[in-house]
Each structure stands twice: as structure tokens, then as C-alpha cells.
């Protein structure tokens, strides 16, 4: 019996122990990592999700690795996301590699205004295949979609690369919040689904879900 129902049943039965605090239903803990070149917006992406705020102004590169927790509710279940924000700079790679193994999901970001951050995605995927779990959930994100005037990478190119690697894709903005929550929710849904599908639960396809829910930047690219 679920803890909530058990509490209700105990209260109804008038059991003397009914006044005791019943522990909340345990959260499903999940580890997510943010990866991508330095400056693509990983820290801002995390802050936007966690606090709904955008860190503008001087760019301060992450040193090593840091994490934040956020609980989301997915189809009635509390999912505790532990989100690791990694330093994109090359010199911290050996530190961050050590954390790949424990991650159940990876959000891999590039910056749509920075071509080299997109060109480096293949190298990131090679590292991921080397260090992460085989069944890790990967999502490709083209961040800074709000800066359409400086766009260097077409949305179609992001889509093509994602299709080649069989991963879901969307463009995001840590500044406006576009698709930020959706990225984490889609991952939480996928991992919750994998953790234990209920008999009456329909099957879940993360790519279909992302395609049906994602917002597209309002202005098309100049490319």
C-alpha cells in the first residue's frame, strides 16, 4: 500500500499510532550532468531552472564541478534531480570525467552563436561514450536561441546531428527560459519510466515527447 493510503487507512481505523508522522513517499533520486564547451551557458541554464533567474553580466567560468538539487513532480511522483554543473574548460576535463559514471542523464549544450561549440559536440559525444554508462540518457541542446541576430548554427543542423546520434534535440534559452524546464522534465519522465513502469502506464518515448512539447524560437534564422 502507498504511504499516503496507509496513513488514510490508519486514521480511518482509529489506530493509536495514527498521530505519528508518516515519512513522505521517498523521492526518486536522479543524477543529471550539464556538459559542453566553456561559455555555452551551462551555469545559467541550471540557475534558470533552479531559481527562474538569468545571470547576466560578466562571465565567470565554473571551476571544476558544482551541483544543485531540485525536486520535480512527474506524473504524481516526486523526482529529486541532482544536477551537476561542470566546467567546460579543457583543463578541468580529468576532474569531470570522474563524475560521468554515476550520471543517469546528460544535457549536452552548444551555443547557437558559436560554431566551434557546435563542432566540438562530436568530441563531447566520444568522451561520453568512453566515460558514461552505456544506457545514459543524452539530450542535445542548442542554447542562446534568444540571440537570433548572431546565430551561426541553423536549427536544422542541430536536428541533423541529434538524429545521427539518436538523441532528442531542442533549442533553448537560459535567458528567456525557453525549453529549460522541459529539458529536465523530459529527462525526469524518461528515467521515471525506466525505473518502474506501472501496468497501466503507456510507453514513453522521450524524442516524441520533446518534439511535441518544445517551443521554437519566434524568429527564424538568417541563414
Under the rule (CB under 6 A), what is the footprint of ligand GTP?
Answer: 38-44, 55-56, 59, 61-62, 87-89, 143-144, 146-147, 173-175
d(CA 180, CA 45): 7
Q: Who contacts 199 (Cβ-Cβ below 8 Å, separation ≥6)?
A: none
> How far apart are CB 190 and ligand GTP at their closest, in Å?
23
> How far apart are CB 18 and ligand GTP at their closest, in Å?
49
Give the closest residue to 28 by CA, choosing from 84, 66, 72: 72
Contact indicator for 68, 180 with CB cutoff of 8 Å: no
Q: Kindly compute the dihedral angle of the four CA atoms of residues 216, 186, 174, 71, in this order, to the nearest 10 degrees.
A: 150
> How far apart are CB 64 and ligand GTP at their closest, in Å?
10
Choice between 37 and 190, CB closer to ligand GTP: 37
Choice between 44 and 191, CB closer to ligand GTP: 44
> How far apart are CB 88 and ligand GTP at their closest, in Å?
3
> How far apart are CB 91 and ligand GTP at their closest, in Å?
11
Choice between 1 and 60, CB closer to ligand GTP: 60
Choice between 39 and 165, CB closer to ligand GTP: 39
Q: How far from 68 is each of 34, 60, 89, 188, CA to CA, in Å?
A: 11, 17, 20, 15
Choice between 162 and 174, CB closer to ligand GTP: 174
> What are the backbone dihedrals phi and psi of residue 23, each rounded to the nearest 5 degrees, phi first?
-60, 140
Amino acid at each position: 500500500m502507498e504511504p499516503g493510503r496507509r496513513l488514510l487507512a490508519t486514521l480511518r481505523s482509529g489506530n493509536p499510532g495514527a498521530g505519528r508522522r508518516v515519512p513522505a513517499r521517498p523521492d526518486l533520486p536522479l543524477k543529471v550532468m550539464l556538459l559542453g564547451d566553456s561559455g555555452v551557458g551551462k551555469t545559467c541554464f541550471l540557475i534558470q531552472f533552479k531559481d527562474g533567474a538569468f545571470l547576466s553580466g560578466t562571465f565567470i567560468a565554473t571551476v571544476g564541478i558544482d551541483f544543485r538539487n531540485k525536486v520535480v513532480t512527474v506524473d504524481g511522483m516526486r523526482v529529486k534531480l541532482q544536477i551537476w554543473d561542470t566546467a567546460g574548460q579543457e583543463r578541468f576535463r580529468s576532474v569531470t570525467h570522474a563524475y560521468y559514471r554515476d550520471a543517469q542523464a546528460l544535457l549536452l549544450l552548444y551555443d547557437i552563436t558559436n560554431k566551434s561549440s557546435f563542432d566540438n559536440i562530436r568530441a563531447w559525444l566520444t568522451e561520453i561514450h568512453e566515460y558514461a554508462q552505456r544506457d545514459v540518457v543524452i539530450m542535445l541542446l542548442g542554447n542562446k536561441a534568444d540571440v537570433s541576430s548572431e546565430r551561426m548554427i541553423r536549427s536544422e543542423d542541430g536536428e541533423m546531428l541529434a538524429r545521427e546520434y539518436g538523441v532528442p534535440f531542442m533549442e533553448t534559452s537560459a535567458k528567456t527560459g525557453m525549453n529549460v524546464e522541459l529539458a529536465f522534465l523530459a529527462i525526469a519522465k524518461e528515467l521515471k519510466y525506466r525505473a518502474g513502469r506501472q501496468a497501466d502506464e503507456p510507453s514513453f518515448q522521450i524524442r516524441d515527447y520533446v518534439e511535441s512539447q518544445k517551443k521554437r524560437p519566434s524568429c527564424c534564422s538568417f541563414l
